[in-house]
Chains A and B, each alone.
Chain A
C-alpha cells in the first residue's frame, strides 16, 4: 500500500507533503505510485476538500463534541482519503492506495466488465477503508502527527496563516516515524 500525507492550510494551500509506503507485512516503507498516479495525487487530495467541508459543516454523526478525526471520507477510483481536522481548520489528509491485489484487481481480465456488486464476493482480503482495524491505525497515525504538529505551530516564527510551508526536518522525521509505527 502506498500513502500520501498532506497538510492543508485553511486557505487550501499545502503546507507539508510526505509520501511513504506501508511498513506492515513486510513492506519496506517506500511508496509505489506510478508516474501518472503521482501526478494525479494532488488533484485527488484537493478535490477531497469538498467532502471535508461537507462532513465538517454537515450534521454531526457523533453526539456532543465534534470529532477531529473524520475517518474515511472520500474515494476516487482506488484512492481512499481519510481526514483529520484541527481546531484551527488545518486539514490532514491521508491518501491510501492499496495494492492491486488488495482490490481484487490482480486477476486481470476476470472481473472486467463486472459491476462492483460482484466484487464484494471475492473474499475477505479486499481492502476496506471502514474496517475498524484500518480506522484505528489511521487514527493513531493522525494522533501522533497532530502532536508533532502542535509543537511545530507553537514555534513563534512559524505562522500557518501566512501559508508558511513546514520545512522542519524534525517534523518530517516524526511523521515518518508515526507512519512506520502504525501504517
Chain B
C-alpha cells in the first residue's frame, strides 16, 4: 500500500509541534521562586481566572450562589437533625438533607469515555491560525467535558436513563501513556518488544507525557498549594473577613473546602493509560481531515492506517479495534461548501453515521468581536497541565488574557458535533459492545462450563505457572512477564466490559463483572489487576443507589477496599501509591454519603490515608479536615445528641488547624479552629464564650489562635521591621496603607515612593539629617 509507505517515514508533524509549544512552560520553578513572584500575580487579571475554582469562597466575597447551594444551608441540619438512618443503609441518591452528593457526581463524571483526536496537517494549521496553539484537541477538549443536553443510556436490562452531566474526554492518547510509576516489571515492555516501531513511540511519548497525564500525587499537592497561596495573599483585608467569619465556618463543615474538591478533581483527571484498567484507553477516535485536502478519502485512509498499525499505534495491551469517527473540517471563509457537501455525502455512504461535517471559521477572533466567545477552561486538566499554565502566566507580564476567543458559530458547530458524536455513535457503540461481551464472554464465564474451565485451568495450569516466561505454554491468559492480558483474552474483554458499564453508569453490571474478575485475577496472581478490580468493585457497589445493608458493607466493600489498597502498595515490588490513594479517597467519599455507621468507616479510611503516608503535607491537612467532617456529619439522638461525634470532629479540626498553621496557611488554619470551637460549643447551644473543659485545651487553642493571627498579620505585611520603619506618628495611617501595598502591589508602591519621597520621610531620612548637620557645622 502506498499510503502506508508514505506515512511511516514522514515524521508525525503535529505531535512534534505540540511538544515544542509545550516545552516552554515546563521550567518548573521552585516554590521559593514562585513565592518571590507572588506580588505580580495579583496584578495579573488573567491569572485570577485560573484560580477561580477555589478563590471565590475563600476571599469572603462569595456571591449569593454560595449560600444558595444546598450544602451550606444544610449544615445545622446535619448536626442537629435526629438520626433517622442508622446502620448506614441509606442510599446516596435519596438523601434529602444533610450531606451533598457533590463528590458522587464528581466521581461519576471523572470516569468518562476517552476519545482520541487525530487530525491532518491542514486542519491543525487552520486551527493554529485561529490562535489555538495546540490544534484541534485544544479546541474540542473543553466542550467535550459536558455534552449538551441529556444523554440517554440503556443499561444491560434494557432500562434507559438520561443523564445531564455526561461527558467525554478528548485526548491525545500518546500523552496519557505515562504512568506515575513503571506499571509492571518494566523490562518486559521496553526490551522484549520485537516491534521496533512501538519502541520508538514509547520514547517519543515519554518526553511529553508529563504534560497531560495525571496520577502524580506530588504535582497535585503542588497545585493545591499554589491555589492556597493565592488565596492567602489575595484574600480581602482582616475586617471583611471577620464579618464573613460565620459564613466561612458554616461552609466548611457540610460540604468540603474548595481546595479539597480541587484535590479530588485533580486526583481523578488525566487518568493515565495503563494495562490494568481501561478507563483511559480510547473508546473511539476522531479522524479529522480538512476539506482543503485535495483527496480527503485518501487522507482518511492514511491516518487510519497510521493509527491502526503505523507509527501512531498504541501499545500492545490496548485494544486496537475501537470506533473510528470521521470528521470533515470545512473552512467557512475560503472553502467551497458545495464541494465539501459532495465529499461529505460520499463519506456518509462509506461510514454511515460515524462521520460529521464540522464547519469552522478560520480567521482569528479577538475579544472585542461581536460574537466572540472565550474558550472555556478545561475542568479536567491534569495537575501538571494546570501548573504549567499557572507558571506560564506568572512568567509573562502581559495583562491580557491569553485564552483564545472563538466565534459563536464555531461553538454551536462544535456543540452539535459533540452531541451527535456522543448520542448517535459513541454511546450506542458502547452499549452494543457491552451487551455483546455480556452475552459472549461474561455469560459463558459465569455458566457451568465457564466455572469448570476456570477450575481446570487452575489445576492444570499450576505446573506451568512457574515457567511462565513462555506465555504460550502457560494455561493462564496472564502474561506475568510483561504484566498484562492480551486485549482479546476473555479477562481483558471482561475488564473492558466492566469499565464500559461503569462509564455508562450501569453500576450493577459493573459490580458483578468486577467481582468475577477479582477471583480470576486472584487465581492468576495478577496483583495489580486484582487491586484494580477490587477497587472498582467497591466503588461501583457504593455508587449504586440501591440501599446497602451494613452487613454487606462491612463484609464486601471494606474487604475490597482493604484488598485493593494492600495490593496496590504492599503486595508487589513496584507499588502504586496513587491508585491506593484513589481507592481510599473515593471509598471514603462514597461511604460518607451513606450516613450512620458508614461515617465511621469513612473516617477510618481517611485516617488510614494520613497514617500510611500516601499523601504529602497538603493532602494530609486536607484529609485531616475530612475526618473531622465525617465525624461531624453524624447526627446525635435526643437533647444531648447521644452518639454524635462532635468531640471527635473537634479534635480532628484542631489537628487540621495545627497542620495548616505549620504549612503557613493562616486562612485555612483559622477556618479550622473556628470550626473546632463551634463543635466544642455545639452541645449546649449558648452564646456564652465557652471554656473548654481542660485548661490545657483552652490554653492550647488560645495559643494556636494567637499564632495564627500573627501569621495572618505577617502575610498581610504587618511586619516588625516595617513597624520600626514608621517614624513619624502623624504619618502612621498612610504608612500603614503603604505597607499593605508592599506585599500585594510593588509597582504601585515604587511609584508612590518615586513621586512623594521628600514629603513623606524627607525630614527624618538619615542622609538629609546628616547634611543638615553639616550645614549647621558650616554655619557655626
Contact = CB atoms under 8 A, between A and B. Distances in A.
A46 to B, nearest CB: 6
Contacts of B565: 115
B47 interface: no
13 contacts: A12-B693, A42-B694, A43-B651, A43-B654, A46-B647, A47-B648, A50-B631, A53-B643, A57-B642, A58-B643, A114-B612, A115-B565, A118-B566
Given A46-B647, A46-B694, A46-B697, 13 more contacts: A14-B693, A14-B694, A39-B696, A42-B697, A42-B700, A43-B651, A43-B697, A50-B645, A50-B647, A114-B569, A114-B612, A115-B566, A115-B580
A49 interface: yes
A51 B757 CA distance: 65
B611 A76 contact: no
B651 A113 contact: no
Interface in B640-654: 642-648, 650-651, 654
Nearest to B634: A50
A47 B647 contact: yes
B613 A46 contact: no
Closest CB pairs A-B (n = 8): A42-B694, A47-B651, A47-B647, A47-B648, A50-B647, A118-B570, A42-B696, A50-B645
B570 to A, nearest CB: 5
B562 interface: yes
Contacts of A46: 647, 651, 692-694, 697
Interface string B691-726: 011101100100000000000000000000000000
Interface string A58-91: 1000000000000000001100000000000000
A176 interface: no
Interface residues of A, number: 29
A113 B696 contact: no
B595 to A, nearest CB: 15
Contacts of B614: 113
Interface string A30-64: 00000000010111111111110110011000000
Contacts of A77: 611
Interface string A109-123: 000111111100000
B272 interface: no
Contacts of B570: 114-115, 117-118
Nearest to A9: B693
B566 A117 contact: yes
Contact of B700 (A14, A39, A115, A117): A39
Interface size classification for chain B? 20 to 34
Contacts of B654: 43
Given A47-B648, A50-B644, A115 B569 contact: yes
Interface string A95-130: 000000000000000001111111000000000000
Nearest to A49: B647
A13 interface: yes
Contacts of A49: 647
Interface in B661-700: 692-694, 696-697, 700
A76 B651 contact: yes
Secondary structure of the A side of the interface? helix
B414 to A, nearest CB: 44
B532 to A, nearest CB: 16
B651 A57 contact: no
Contacts of B647: 46-50
B646 A43 contact: no
Interface of B: 562, 565-566, 569-570, 575, 577, 580, 608, 611-614, 631, 642-648, 650-651, 654, 692-694, 696-697, 700
B613 A112 contact: yes
Contacts of A48: 647
Most interface-central of B608, B642, B647, B654 (chain A CB within 10 A): B647
A116 B696 CA distance: 32
Contacts of B648: 47, 50-51
A67 to B, nearest CB: 19
Nearest to B584: A115
A13 to B, nearest CB: 5
A39 to B, nearest CB: 5
A67 B308 CA distance: 72
B577 A13 contact: no
A46 B651 CA distance: 8
A45 to B, nearest CB: 8
Nearest to A163: B693
Contacts of B562: 117
B643 A54 contact: yes
Most interface-central of B608, B644, B645, B694 (chain A CB within 10 A): B694
B602 to A, nearest CB: 15
Interface in A142-180: none
Contacts of A14: 693-694
A116 B611 contact: yes
Most interface-central of A43, A77, A116 (chain B CB within 10 A): A43
Contact of B612 (A47, A54, A57, A116): A116
Contacts of B646: 50
A6 to B, nearest CB: 9
Interface string A1-43: 0000000100011100000000000000000000000010111
Contacts of A113: 569, 575, 577, 612-614
A68 to B, nearest CB: 19
Nearest to B563: A117
A62 B654 CA distance: 36
B388 to A, nearest CB: 28
A170 to B, nearest CB: 24
Contacts of A44: 651
B189 to A, nearest CB: 24
A30 B333 CA distance: 86
